[in-house]
Amino acid sequence: MDYFKGLSRKEYILKTAEMIKRDGIENLSIRKIAKELCCSSASLYRYFSGLDELIYYAELGQLKAYIQSINESSLIWENVWDKYVGIWYCYAMEAFRKPISYNLLFLTKKDIELDKAIVEFYDMFPEEIRTSTPLFRTMLRNPDFLGRDYEVCKVCIKAGVISEEKAVVLNRMVCFLYMGYFKNLMDKGVREESLDDYVWKFVEDTERIVFALADNLQGYTSYKEVLKRKVLKRKTKY
CA angle 38, 43, 49 (to 5 degrees): 130
The verdict on domain 9-48 having CATH code 1.10.3470 is: no
Q: Residue 8 corresponds to which amino acid?
A: S
Mean pLDDT for 142-159 is 92
Rounded average pLDDT over 60-77? 88
Domain boundaries, the chain: 9-48, 63-237
d(CA 153, CA 237): 32
Q: What integer pLDDT is reported at residue 119 of this predicted model?
A: 74
How crowded is residue 214: how many other Cβ atoms within 10 Å of its Cβ?
Answer: 21
- Write down the pLDDT at residue 2: 47
Asked if pLDDT for residue 208 goes beyond 90, the answer is: yes
What is the per-residue pLDDT for 176?
A: 97
Distance CA 146, CA 106 (A): 11
Neighbours of 190 (CB within 10 A): 17
Tell me, rounded to whole angstroms, the distance of Cα 11 from its chain centroid. Answer: 24
Per-residue pLDDT at 133 exceeds 80? no
Least confident of 71-75, 113-117, 168-172: 113-117
Q: What is the CA radius of gyration of the chain?
A: 20
Cβ 223 vs Cβ 208: under 8 Å? no
